[in-house]
């Protein structure tokens, strides 16, 4: 299949779709899916088009051919090969529910990714990664060794040609240096109780306060802890009869689902940044 994805954002003005469609016509392209959004608050226009071509084309050549239109409208534009699977590096600590979910989805073909490796500051999930034939890297960390350990993560992502780093309940605060190195290509998952229930055992804290809704949030990693652009969120309603253990189990399910959705949206190039927010095309 000769399918490609074009994403762009630019100041909103007339003629954008006309010029993009004209360029696709010149390439003998056939539009398979198109979604657009104009934000009146920021006066920016966002567009995602999936299209097919009669013959396989080099992505860089297509990008170069589209450059005059991008320059004309001041676009941030990218063209991707829709058939290429993104390569993932998954970071995890001791809680393995999100890791297990991602491994299964990738293995079963539900998630169009290639998991290049799993890395952890603990060895708890080495066997799980091995059962899927995924390389596992044990990268222990202490406050004194954090700079060296984070450099190992950066080197691993570079050497494995990783497109996206997924923090699947990786319970370490990343330094500004690591956040900047992974800018725009690292996704984190956390329970939606932040900042009300910080620290350990958030579901037990939530139970003690008698919450009626629990949830999870997936967002891009930035140097501002848990304040990166939000990609995906979901919630579950609970009652007074739910125990802390049951609350944790429900929360784990929501976290796994929300993270998988966020990863899928990223690797399918459905996310465009809109200042501190995201435009996520379905």
- What residues are labeled active site? 226
- The span from the CA of 47 to the CA of 66, in Å, is 14
Query: Residues 92, 103: contact at Cβ < 8 Å?
Result: no
- For the beta sheet containing 113-120, the strands, ordered from the edge strand earlier in sequence to the opposite edge, are 136-138, 113-120, 86-92, 164-167, 186-191, 213-220, 230-237
Query: Residue with structure tokens 């080495």?
Result: 126
Per the DSSP assignment, residues forming a β-bridge with 5 are 50, 80
- Angstrom CA distances, 1 to 9, 83, 179, 264, stand at 26, 8, 36, 20
CA angle (56 as vertex; 282, 19 as ends), nearest 5 = 60
Helical H segments across the chain, by residue range: 16-26, 59-73, 97-108, 126-131, 146-159, 176-181, 202-208, 244-267
Helices (runs of H) and strands (runs of E) counted in the chain: 8, 13
| CA–CA gap between residue 158 and residue 153 (Å, rounded) | 9
Q: Count the Cβ atoms, other than its own, within 10 Å of residue 118.
A: 27
User: Strands 113-120, 136-138: parallel, antiparallel or unpaired by DSSP?
Assistant: parallel
CB of 153 within 8 A of CB of 91? yes
């Amino acid at each position: 299949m000769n399918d490609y994805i074009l994403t762009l954002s630019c100041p909103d003005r007339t003629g954008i779709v006309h010029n993009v469609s004209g360029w696709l016509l010149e390439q003998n392209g056939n539009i398979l899916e198109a979604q657009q959004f104009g934000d009146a608050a920021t006066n920016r226009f966002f567009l995602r088009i999936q299209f097919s071509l009669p013959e396989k084309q080099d992505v860089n050549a297509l990008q170069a051919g589209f450059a005059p239109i991008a320059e004309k409208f001041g676009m941030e534009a990218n063209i991707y090969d829709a058939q290429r699977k993104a390569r993932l590096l998954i970071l995890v600590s001791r809680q393995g529910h999100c890791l297990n979910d991602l491994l299964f989805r990738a293995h079963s073909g539900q998630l169009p990714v290639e998991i290049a490796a799993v890395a952890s500051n603990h060895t708890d999930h080495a066997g799980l990664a091995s059962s899927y034939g995924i390389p596992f890297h044990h990268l222990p960390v202490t406050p004194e060794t954090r700079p060296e350990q984070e450099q190992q993560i950066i080197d691993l992502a570079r050497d494995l040609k990783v497109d996206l780093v997924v923090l699947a309940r990786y319970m370490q605060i990343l330094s500004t240096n690591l956040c900047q190195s992974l800018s725009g290509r690292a996704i984190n998952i956390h329970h939606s109780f932040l900042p009300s229930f910080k620290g350990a055992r958030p579901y037990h804290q939530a139970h003690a306060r008698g919450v009626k809704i629990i949830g999870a949030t997936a967002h891009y990693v930035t140097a501002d802890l848990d304040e990166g652009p939000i990609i995906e969120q979901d919630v579950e309603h609970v009652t007074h009869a739910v125990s802390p253990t049951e609350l944790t189990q429900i929360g784990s399910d929501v976290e796994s689902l929300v993270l998988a959705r966020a990863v899928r949206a990223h690797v399918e190039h459905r996310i465009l940044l809109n200042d501190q927010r995201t435009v996520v095309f379905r």
